[in-house]
Amino acid sequence: MRYATSDIHGCAKTFRHLVKEVLQLKPADELFLLGDYIDRGPDSKGVIDFILELKRTGFKVRTLSGNHEAMMLEAREDTESLQHWDLNGGRQTLASFGLTAIRDIPQSYWAFLLNLEYYIELEDYLLVHAGFNFKAENPFTDTDSMLWIRNFPVDQAVLGNRRIVHGHTPTPVQKIAQSIENKKQVINIDGGCVYTDRMPGLGFLTAINLDTFAFYSVPNQD
């Protein structure tokens, strides 16, 4: 089976529960992670550690970059980017490492971030963190939009008979379930796991079975 989930945002306990207890992931399955593993939640390090553990123990896991991973990489470059990341959850990420300086994060975590993909093209799906800019001459080269875009119109000629599954924009769990049940062409699976008190319907880590359209949702356990 093929599963996708997105926007874990440092909720390591919830993520482990989803994968191990709810999906009961098997080595023959494929797990697609659509970005935003870090920031805001309590254990960003734990999320990355679990992803690396899954890969190390033979599970098929493919990982996309979200805008928060991009912000973390940029935060190494200059003070302004560091401050921007800090205000968007970077402080919690550093705390999960038990650190106060970004330069002290071990190299293995930077290697993980640098090897993230921007999108995944399957025969029947396009998987991406935020979406695609179909107004661009080649939507598959606009990586900034893949990380940040919202409310994008679809070019049917480019998409063909595929569906887009993405995250990035927190969406009430009932709306996600409805999109999956109706097999919509664009399905947002960001259940706003870390936002337990922002609005009704958020605070869930959700997943979709790309083969059966089964829908899974786990309330935040962190």
Task: State the residue range of the domain holding 57.
Answer: 2-219
Instruction: Indicate the SS3 state at residue 83.
Output: helix
Instruction: Indicate the SS3 state at residue 187.
Output: strand
- Count structural domains, the chain: 1
Q: What is the pLDDT of residue 217?
A: 98
Q: What are the C-alpha distances in Å from 135 to residues 55, 78, 152, 155?
A: 36, 32, 9, 8
Q: Within 13 Å, how many C-alpha atoms sit on residue 105's CB side?
A: 23
Instruction: Please give the Cα distance from 201 to 197 (Å, whole number).
Output: 10
Residue 163's identity, in one-letter code, is: R
Q: What is the pLDDT of residue 202?
A: 98
Closest CA to 102 of 33, 38, 147, 54: 38
The one-digit pLDDT tens for each residue of the chain (222 residues) are: 999 999 999 999 999 999 999 999 999 999 999 999 999 999 999 999 999 999 999 999 999 999 999 999 999 999 999 999 999 999 999 999 999 999 999 999 999 999 999 999 999 999 999 999 999 999 999 999 999 999 999 999 999 999 999 999 999 999 999 999 999 999 999 999 999 999 999 999 999 999 999 999 999 999
Q: Give the domain CATH number at 26.
A: 3.60.21.10
- Phi (first) and psi of residue 184, to 5 degrees: -65, 160
